[in-house]
Amino acid sequence: MKTVLITGCSSGYGLETARHFHAKGWNVVATMRTPREDMLPRSDRMQVVALDVTSPASVAAAIRAAGPIDVLVNNAGIGVVGAFEATPMSTTREIFETNTFGVMAMMHAVVPQFRERRSGVIVNVTSSTTLAAFPLAGVYTASKTAVDGLSGSVAHELAAFGVRIKLVEPGYGPGTRFAENGGARMQGLIPDAYRPFADPIFTAFANPGAVTTAADVAETVWQAANDASDRLHFAAGPDAVALVQAKAA
């Protein structure tokens, strides 16, 4: 029976992905900053572990608690929307600490055991902002695009040891807690000078067409984790798939 460790399981994509892998019969190590076991099925195949991906001590403790794993899903992330000019460098560093350096830290933590066993899969959940340029998402896009570049490069290195890396790129998910989680850090990031530009964009966000659900992402992560080919990119959700198709046209 295989074991998956998933980061950021307190809500949204991570929570649904943990449930999905458990339903498929896997052992699941569901991590979150503040563990809440009541959110997930009670099962001897479900382990809830505390993890802050920005803390080296927390990462090391979570890896010890999990024991040997077969798949790492780097899902933990935080969001920010705003004009680049108005986004403080302190906020930018906060975004990168979780979205980029947190992913690197988790990869560093599991690669040795994967390399030694000559097996394992790392699934990095990024964003459809890496597939097309979106306004008011510069810092967030940068943090996710860095992970895309990292993953493609390291995939070549680890392939020599039978270890695979996959990228799952979800579309716009209004059903997630993206705005709620980023609310405080987004205050003041749309100065008055940007309002005429930003207001129509926010109106469009409030009335989206095709969107991505947590179930879309969970199923795509499952597919990526079990894909034995050298495929790297997996768009998740109809809007993300449409972006890929538009680029290919």
State CA 119 to chain mean position distance. 22
Q: Give the separation between CA 78 and CA 98, rounded to whole angstroms.
A: 7
Beta strands in the chain (DSSP E): 3-6, 27-32, 46-50, 71-74, 121-125, 164-170, 233-236
Half-sphere exposure of 125 (CA within 13 A, CB side): 30
pLDDT at 182: 53
Asked if 75 and 7 touch (Cβ cutoff 8 Å), the reply is yes
Q: For residue 11, what are its two tokens?
A: 């809500």
Phi, psi of 182 (to 5 degrees): -100, 5
Q: How far is 40 from 17, CA to CA, in rounded Å?
A: 11
Catalytic residue selected from 13, 140, 172, 194: 140
Q: List the end-to-end C-alpha distance of the chain, in Å, as a whole number.
A: 41
140 part of the active site: yes
Please state, in angstroms and rounded to a whole number, the distance separating the CA atoms of residues 116 and 235. 30
- Output the pLDDT for position 174: 81
Spans of all domains in the chain: 3-248
Most distant CA atoms of the chain, gap in Å: 56
Q: What is the pLDDT of residues 108-117, one digit of tens each?
A: 999 999 999 9
For residue 45, the number of C-alpha atoms closer than 13 Å in the C-beta half-sphere is 15
Classified by CATH at the fold level, domain 3-248 comes out as Rossmann fold (3.40.50)
The CB-side HSE value for 83 (13 A sphere, CA atoms) comes to 14
Which of these, 232, 231, 236, 233, lies nearest to 220 by C-alpha position? 236
Radius of gyration of the chain from its Cα atoms, rounded to whole angstroms = 18
CB atoms within 10 A of CB 206: 8
Other beta carbons less than 10 A from residue 46's beta carbon: 18
pLDDT of residue 210: 86
Residue 96 identity:
F
pLDDT along the chain (249 residues), means of 10: 97 97 98 93 96 98 98 97 96 98 98 98 97 95 98 98 98 72 69 95 84 96 98 96 88
Q: Closest Cα partner for 70 from 39, 31, 27?
A: 27
Q: Amino acid identity, residue 68?
A: P
